[in-house]
């Protein structure tokens, strides 16, 4: 055979005048590549007579007077390409050529220099060092050779010829040759592939061509450590190990993840890389949608969210309603210009949003705030095909990023008008986002009522914070406890810093528990129970007087405009003030106005802040909130910060809108962060940060963490003693913990000791609770501020005395106790602390009251004696009433003072 000089095809018959692939003419001195078929059978057959070769190829008999040339035939793997130079079969008829001269090319002037030269002979540029990294094929990051995965996007490296190859290919020369691009063609020059085995060959075994690294470089001091050590021998920095990324991030959906996964580590991922990865996973589903439309020749119809009553209501009944039919955009009747085509976006503005008959102003208010930056709204729509009526949107439901595929069939009335939300100027972004959110939660009815901060979190996935503008705030003490005073300067500082960070902000007007005078709000041009976009926060200095604090707001609906102080025609607008505040703003829209901070505190109940950032990292982990003190199911995370970093923690409860409002049960969520040490068992150290405990869909906290190890504990108590403990783990509420950080973080699920929950509550109460001294050697701690309930903890510092404690909370209402009763009696041993009781607000929408009375006495022994009469049928003297069940022992058992 001979080799073509044009396409390098090496299987042309030696008598052929042109290439069998590209039809190029045979060159006069074409290199011979194969003398006989037997060459492929192994080197031990290369001396067979030539007549066997010609007979095998079906050609005429050719006499060869001289000895056949010795051939060097490399073994080809399935990952090679025939166009590669490594596959060219060269005839070795001459002595081995001299070794090629090794040279190197200068990166500055491209001069080719001698191998012995340390610098370029022309420009004196230094000799380039050999590559000690590999470039990621997904994000192009240059990673060290010791990294098995990309440090940014966790993509495995792609070597020249694949990561794994079958070991059976090492014997390829004995049974066949490298595949040919023309093997499907019946050509005499290509002998049929055969096997010399009478039995099928064994299954190929795969081996990893990349050896396991024996060393790892420290990310702090670059010291190269042995692979067996977990911390740097030089600076003691922890090693940041990577886990293989699951194809579809199944770690969130793994039911066994809260248990049996001790020691697993996962690294936070840059948000931009995470989005690209998730969009690539959703591409497969998108291709199925396109294939379905191509096979049917019809527009896309989403069978998982059909155009029926099941997608409208929880019950799925066919009761008569405003939505009589489902229409495509070209079938919808609108008052806009009929010549204007339907598009997804046409310069989206907050004033484009129109609410329908559905009471989902929380979502539309969040959309209006988001529309202040059109790029964020456009980012919610991943891809779309208007001709097929198919769209993909990326939303964050209960802390999970999900890509949703929907069609453009929208609910309409008999006249062809949309009955739910819509966008002006024949845009589809508002009804499409509304439909995608409805699909996530099961139906359109699930969108009724909510808070704007939930909508901001759903649309952006960013950490969100609600700043209360009223005394007491969210999660106040309740009952007869004094309301928490509002720190006006602190609130103003938060608004200023959020404005400087370019966060999204929305102000809730007259919501929450505020008493609203409808006539007064209407006279001043405000709409209660609606969200306003916060466009600017500024201080106006006037002479030597204190600066005036002002906010610039937008009413998305535009019909009502503020008529109070600092309104458009107010006399307070001096030329100097107008020049200072309006030089960068041209308020042509009717709904934009300036208002004083004092009036905001008077007529608005809170400001929601959405911390949209660029370049941050995030990691999200799922878990269970057990209705007992089970460390086997309790979610605790060991967080490793290899460098100082800013972190936002957010704890979400899953599935709140998947059932009717009367059947929903919101939990009292709280996330607490402690210092800890790296070791086999996580220990609670100093309190670092914690959220308020609130009966909400999610809570969060923000902290600047130093380099080190931290323990993150997720808490909830108001579902204890509700029967869930007997229902099985499948019925227990689930949560998602999201951590957004300015620097990379590593998280793992550590092994937990049985009393970690008690240590966490004791540590939190010692740091944040109110201390009340009793008798000498006895201290009671009460945690009520920002706790949506009460925690009572008693400390016994006596070395030889017990303390009997009686706690009576029977006059409280709308609270639930972790002890199962509102009156408890306990015996606290010497040098011990005990969490006596944890009371929690049962329902977030209603008020609650807590009344507690604590009585204690010293005793020489553990027996409660007359406080708890001895049961003659029981051999053990009671030390706790009600008795501590095994499932409560991890929270209420006495703990030694350390």
12, 143, 360, 555: which is the annotated catalytic residue?
Answer: 555
pLDDT bucket at 842, cuts 50 / 70 / 90: confident
pLDDT digits (tens, 9 = 90+) for 752-794: 888 999 999 999 999 999 999 988 889 999 998 878 899 999 9
Distance CA 90, CA 538 (A): 78
pLDDT digits (tens, 9 = 90+) for 684-730: 999 999 999 988 899 999 999 999 999 999 999 988 888 777 777 78
Judged by phi (left if over 0) then psi (alpha if -120 to 50, else beta), residue 799 lies in alpha
CA atoms 356, 360, 364, 369: torsion sign: positive
Q: What class has domain 765-896?
A: mainly beta
**pLDDT at 320 (0 to 100):** 52
pLDDT value of residue 127: 76
pLDDT at 299: 95
Share of the chain above pLDDT 70, in %: 73
Residue 585 has pLDDT above 80, yes or no: no
Active site residue 360: no
What CA–CA distance (Å, rounded) separates 538 from 698? Answer: 30
212 pLDDT more than 80: no
Q: What distance in Å separates the CA atoms of residue 734 and residue 755, rounded to the nearest whole number?
A: 22
Of the candidates 4, 120, 361, 509, the residue annotated as catalytic is 361
Whether the per-residue pLDDT at 208 is higher than 70: the answer is no
Average pLDDT on 213-222 reads 63
What is the pLDDT at residue 185? 38
Residue 281 belongs to what H/E stretch? helix 271-296
pLDDT digits (tens, 9 = 90+) for 360-380: 888 998 999 999 999 999 999
| Structure-model confidence comparison of residues 140 and 251, the more confident one | 140
**Cβ atoms within 10 Å of 96's Cβ, excluding its own:** 6
Please list the residue range(s) of the chain that carry CATH number 3.90.70.10. 466-471+485-610
pLDDT of residue 27: 74
pLDDT for res 628: 86
pLDDT tens for 139-183 read 667 778 878 777 776 677 764 433 333 333 333 333 333 343 333
CA–CA gap between residue 763 and residue 742 (Å, rounded): 27
What's residue 582's pLDDT?
74
Architecture of domain 616-753: Sandwich (2.60)
Read off the pLDDT of residues 61-77 as tens digits, 9 standing for 90 and up.
333 444 444 433 333 33
For the chain, where do the domains classified as CATH 2.60.120.380 start and end? 616-753
pLDDT digits (tens, 9 = 90+) for 458-517: 999 999 999 999 886 654 444 444 456 889 999 999 999 999 999 999 999 887 778 888
**Lowest-confidence segment of 294-308, 344-358, 585-599 by average pLDDT:** 585-599
- Average pLDDT (317-338) is 82
555 is catalytic: yes
530 is catalytic: yes
Lowest mean pLDDT among 169-173, 278-282, 340-344: 169-173
Of 106-115, 234-243, 550-559, 577-586, the poorest mean pLDDT is in: 234-243
Helices (H), 128-233: 172-175
663 vs 661: CA distance, rounded Å = 5
Residues of the chain with CATH 2.60.40: 765-896
Task: Give the pLDDT of residue 256.
Answer: 37
- Among candidate residues 683, 685, 684, 680, the one with its CA nearest the CA of residue 751: 680
466-471+485-610 is classed in which CATH architecture? Alpha-Beta Complex (3.90)
CB burial of 688-721 (b: ≥16 within 10 Å; e: otherwise) equals bbbbbbbbbbbbbbeeebeebbbbbbbbbbbbbb
Note the pLDDT of residue 224. Answer: 75
Specify the range with the lowest mean pLDDT, choosing from 380-389, 533-542, 551-560, 831-840: 551-560
The pLDDT of residue 801: 93
Confidence of residue 569 (pLDDT cuts 50, 70, 90): confident
Q: Which helix (H) or strand (E) holds 835?
A: strand 832-841
- Tokens linked to 685: 């150290």
Asked if pLDDT for residue 586 goes beyond 80, the answer is: no
The rounded percent of the chain whose pLDDT value lies above 90 is 42
Radius of gyration of the chain (CA): 36
Pick the residue with more confidence: 410 or 32? 410
CB atoms within 10 A of CB 335: 7
Amino acid 243: pLDDT: 32
Is 197's pLDDT higher than 50? no
Q: Which one of 530, 617, 740, 804 is the catalytic residue?
A: 530
What is residue 898's predicted lDDT score, i.e. its pLDDT? 83
pLDDT at 663: 63
**627 or 104, which is more confident?**
627
- Report how far apart the first and last C-alpha atoms of the chain are (Å, whole number): 85
Encode burial over 653-664: b for 16+ CB neighbours within 10 A, e otherwise. Answer: bbebbbeeeeee
Residue whose token pair is 């060393």: 215
Nearest to 27 by CA among 7, 1, 9, 2: 2
- When pLDDT is averaged across residues 648-671 and rounded to a whole number, the result is 83
Confidence of residue 198 (pLDDT cuts 50, 70, 90): very low
Task: State yes or no: pLDDT of 613 exceeds 60.
Answer: yes
Mean pLDDT rounded to a whole number for the chain: 78
- Res 413 pLDDT > 80: yes
Looking at residue 108, its pLDDT comes to: 63
Which residue's entry shows tokens 């049917």? 296
Residues 266-279, mean pLDDT to the nearest whole number: 90
Per-residue b or e along 627-649, where b marks 16 or more CB atoms closer than 10 Å to that residue's CB: bbbbbebbbbbbbbbbeebebbb
Highest mean pLDDT among 228-237, 628-637, 850-859: 850-859
Rounded to an integer, what distance in angstroms lies between the CA atom of residue 669 and that of residue 115? Answer: 67
Place of tokens 């007869």: 480
Dihedral sign (CA 213, 217, 218, 220): negative
User: Tokens 């190029």 appear where?
Assistant: 24
Neighbouring-strand partners of residue 224: 217
Q: C-alpha angle with apex 163: 159 to 166, nearest 5 degrees?
A: 135
By C-alpha distance, which of 38, 78, 34, 47 is closest to 174?
38
Work out the number of other CB atoms within 10 angstroms of the CB of residue 674: 25
């Amino acid at each position: 055979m001979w080799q073509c000089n044009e396409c390098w095809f090496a299987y042309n018959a030696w008598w052929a005048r042109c290439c069998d692939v590209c039809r190029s003419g045979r060159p006069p001195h074409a290199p011979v590549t194969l003398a006989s078929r037997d060459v492929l059978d192994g080197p031990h057959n290369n001396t067979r007579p030539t007549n066997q070769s010609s007979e095998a190829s079906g050609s005429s008999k050719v006499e060869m007077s001289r000895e056949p040339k010795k051939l060097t035939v490399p073994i080809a793997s399935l990952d090679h390409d025939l166009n590669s130079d490594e596959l060219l079969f060269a005839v070795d008829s001459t002595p081995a050529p001299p070794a090629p001269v090794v040279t190197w090319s200068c990166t500055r002037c491209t001069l080719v220099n001698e191998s012995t030269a340390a610098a370029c002979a022309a420009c004196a540029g230094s000799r380039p060092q050999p590559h000690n990294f590999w470039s990621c094929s997904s994000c192009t990051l240059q990673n060290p050779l010791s990294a098995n995965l990309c440090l940014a996007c966790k993509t495995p490296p792609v070597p020249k010829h694949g990561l794994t190859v079958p070991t059976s290919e090492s014997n390829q020369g004995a049974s066949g040759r490298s595949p040919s691009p023309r093997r499907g063609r019946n050509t005499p020059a290509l002998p049929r592939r055969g096997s010399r085995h009478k039995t099928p060959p064994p299954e190929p075994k795969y081996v990893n061509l990349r050896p396991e690294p024996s060393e790892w470089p420290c990310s702090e001091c670059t010291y190269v450590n042995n692979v067996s050590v977990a911390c740097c021998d030089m600076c003691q920095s922890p090693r940041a190990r990577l886990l293989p990324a699951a194809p579809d991030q199944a770690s969130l959906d793994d039911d066994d993840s809260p248990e049996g996964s001790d020691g697993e580590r996962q690294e936070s991922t840059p948000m931009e890389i995470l989005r690209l990865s998730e969009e690539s996973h959703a591409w497969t589903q998108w291709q199925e949608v396109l294939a379905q439309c191509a096979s049917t020749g019809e527009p896309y119809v989403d069978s998982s969210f059909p155009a029926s009553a099941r997608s409208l209501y929880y019950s799925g009944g066919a009761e008569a309603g405003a939505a009589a039919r489902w229409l495509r955009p070209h079938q919808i009747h609108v008052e806009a210009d009929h010549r204007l085509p339907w598009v997804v976006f046409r310069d989206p503005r907050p004033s484009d949003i129109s609410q329908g008959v559905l009471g989902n102003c929380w979502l539309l208010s969040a959309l209006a705030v988001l529309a202040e930056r059109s790029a964020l709204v456009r980012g919610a729509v991943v891809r779309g095909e208007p001709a097929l009526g198919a769209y993909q949107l990326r939303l964050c439901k209960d802390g999970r990023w999900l890509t949703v595929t929907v069609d453009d069939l929208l609910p309409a009335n008999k006249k062809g008008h949309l009955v739910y939300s819509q966008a002006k100027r024949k845009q589809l972004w508002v009804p499409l986002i509304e439909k995608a959110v409805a699909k996530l939660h099961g139906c359109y009815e699930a969108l009724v009522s909510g808070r704007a901060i939930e909508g901001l979190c759903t649309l952006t996935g960013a950490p969100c914070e609600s700043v209360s503008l009223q005394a007491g705030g969210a999660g106040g003490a309740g009952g007869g406890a004094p309301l928490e005073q509002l720190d006006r300067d602190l609130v103003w500082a938060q608004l200023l810093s959020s404005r400087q960070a370019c966060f999204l902000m929305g102000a809730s007007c007259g919501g929450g528990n505020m008493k609203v005078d409808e006539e007064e709000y209407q006279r001043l041009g405000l709409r209660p129970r609606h969200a306003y976009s916060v466009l600017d926060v500024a201080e106006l200095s006037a002479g030597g007087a204190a600066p005036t604090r002002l906010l610039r707001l937008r009413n998305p609906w535009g019909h009502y405009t503020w008529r109070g102080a600092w309104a458009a025609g107010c006399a307070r607008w001096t030329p100097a003030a107008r020049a200072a505040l309006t030089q960068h703003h041209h308020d042509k829209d009717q709904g934009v106005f300036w208002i004083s901070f004092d009036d905001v505190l008077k007529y608005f109940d809170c400001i929601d802040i959405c911390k949209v950032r660029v370049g941050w990292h995030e990691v999200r982990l799922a878990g269970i909130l057990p209705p007992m003190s089970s460390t086997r199911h309790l979610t605790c995370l060991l967080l490793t910060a290899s460098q100082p970093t800013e972190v936002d923690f957010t704890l979400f409860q899953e599935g709140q809108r998947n059932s009717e409002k009367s059947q929903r049960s919101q939990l009292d969520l709280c996330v607490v962060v402690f210092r800890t040490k790296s070791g086999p068992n996580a220990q609670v150290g100093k309190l670092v940060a914690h959220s308020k405990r609130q009966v909400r869909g999610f809570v969060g906290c923000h902290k600047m963490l130093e380099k080190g190890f931290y323990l993150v504990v997720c808490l909830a108590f108001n579902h204890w003693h509700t029967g869930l403990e007997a229902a099985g783990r499948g019925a227990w509420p689930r949560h998602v913990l999201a951590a957004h950080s300015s620097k990379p973080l590593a998280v793992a699920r550590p092994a937990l000791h049985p009393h970690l929950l008690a240590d966490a509550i004791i540590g939190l109460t010692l740091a944040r609770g109110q201390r009340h001294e009793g008798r000498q050697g006895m201290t009671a701690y009460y945690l009520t501020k920002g706790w949506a309930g009460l925690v009572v903890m008693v400390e016994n510092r006596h070395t030889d005395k017990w303390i009997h404690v009686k706690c009576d909370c029977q006059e409280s209402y709308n609270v639930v106790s972790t002890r199962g009763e509102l009156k408890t009696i306990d015996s606290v041993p010497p040098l011990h602390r005990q969490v006596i009781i944890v009371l929690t607000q049962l329902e977030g929408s209603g008020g609650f009251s807590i009344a507690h009375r604590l009585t204690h006495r010293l005793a020489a022994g553990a027996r409660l004696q007359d406080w708890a009469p001895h049961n003659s049928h029981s051999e053990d003297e009671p030390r706790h009433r009600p008795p501590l069940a095994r499932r409560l022992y991890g929270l209420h058992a006495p703990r030694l003072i350390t």
